[in-house]
Structure 1
Amino acid sequence: MTKIAFRLAPALMGVYGVVRLIDGRDGQHGPGPAWTIGHLFFLGALLLYGPVIAGLRRRILDAEGGSRSRRITADILTAVAGAGLATFVRVAVLDIVVGLKAADTAEKSALSDRYADVPAVLPQAFYEIGPLFFMLGLVAMLVQYALVGPRRGLSAVLSPALVLLGFVAIMANMNLLPVGAAMIWFALVPITRGKAAPRGRTPASAVV
């Protein structure tokens, strides 16, 4: 399931980006079937990023061989990315609800404002900046994995760099979402090609 998530999460994000471009051909995004379908793909992508975060944490811990400080760092980054992901899921769910309820763009905007602080258990500002925690947490986890994992050199640096560039592209222009998702896909897929052996152990293939 984890390997599938590494591949499918950014792929579904890319599909959402394509559907969003189709939806925006008339200069507006939603409400309507394209808005709902696109956000369902987006929600599916976000839910799959949960196993991505968990799988990345497991790979970090497997690679670093039980170092307490690195384990604590991995746990903190996992919590940050997970909390941010939860706020991102909230955004997708509310967008789906608003799209289903709204009859036109004006009503969609009004409903979005009405639901801006739902659920009202945290400050609205946290909901607004929460998705950034997911992005930064995921990039930071990839940086940690690059430092302690089995991959070295340019290939290790590329994963966090591509994910960062992908998120920057998406935040700069939502129309670049398919491009940003493709960058993230190319960054995550190589991580699933083999599992790091804990440090201090010699892989069986290396024994002559």
Structure 2
Amino acid sequence: MSETSLNSRVAFVAAPLLVLAYGVIRILDGLDGSRGPGLAWTTGHLAFVAAMLLFVSTFVQMRRMAGRTTLSTVSATAGILGIAALITQFTIDMVVGFMSPDHAHMGELFERIQSVPGVLILVYTGVPLLFYVGQLAIVVQLAAQGRVKAWTPLLVLLDLVLPLVDKDLIPIGALCLLASFAPLAGQVSRTARPVSV
């Protein structure tokens, strides 16, 4: 197995596991009634950023599996744009955590940052959604091609919907994503070849 293939396989498993870690750390951070600043806030955010970096690889691989079609290219590109926005968002969150002596001060800083024209939609409410939309779209394409089981998009959809119901459900959503991505990791090893983006 090539190093590229191994790294791609790892990404399909490690990315959901890192999201799971973020979700669990987030719950633990909130046990005292507030989240951040502190070690748990920073550690959780670092886990999520690491997951996003690995998701770039999963998008590239899923686009290849889908045949590098126009639709898969659009889906992967949208997903990666969403990743860039989410990494920006979580980086801002960490910087705010480092700059704040307490949770109340964090809230004040977030208000100031999010009041800058364009920041809210580009970094918090709009563009980040492209990650989730792109991911679901490309998995649906793979299911339509018979490359993944028909139920796989349902697991991905659960991963997207559960945090909207309650963010404490992020770990369960991450487990759903892990179950849907594990077969894709196997496909990488069977069909690996040099990737051209």
Do both share a fold (TM > 0.5)?
yes
**Match for residue 187 of structure 1?**
180
How large is the Cα RMSD of the aligned pairs? 1.8
**Match for residue 41 of structure 2?**
35
**How many residues end up aligned between the 2 structures?**
183
**Match for residue 76 of structure 1?**
74
Normalization by structure 2: what TM-score? 0.86
**Match for residue 16 of structure 1?**
22
Please list every run of 5 or more consecutive structure 2 residues that lacks an aligned counterpart in the other structure. 1-6, 192-197
**Match for residue 60 of structure 2?**
54
Once the 2 structures are TM-superposed, how far is the Cα of residue 191 of structure 1 from its aligned partner? 1.2
Secondary structure of the residue aligned to 2:66 is: helix
Equivalent residue for 1:126, pick from 111, 122, 127: 122
Secondary structure of the residue aligned to 1:157 is: coil
Once the 2 structures are TM-superposed, how far is the Cα of residue 90 of structure 1 from its aligned partner? 0.8
Partners of 1:104 and 1:123 in 2: CA distance = 23
Please list every run of 5 or more consecutive structure 1 residues that lacks an aligned counterpart in the other structure. 198-208
| 1:1-208 alignment runs, 5 A limit | 1-61=7-67, 71-116=69-114, 122=118, 124-127=120-123, 128-151=125-148, 156-195=149-188
Residues 1:43 and 1:123: Cα distance change in structure 2 (over 3 Å)? closer
Partners of 2:126 and 2:108 in 1: CA distance = 21
Judge conservation of contact 1:60–1:149 (CA < 8 Å) in 2: no
Structure showing greater Rg: 1
Judge conservation of contact 1:162–1:184 (CA < 8 Å) in 2: yes
**Match for residue 201 of structure 1?**
none
Normalization by structure 1: what TM-score? 0.82
Encode CA deviations 1:90-127: one digit per residue, 9 max, x unaligned.
11111111111111111101111222267x7x563233
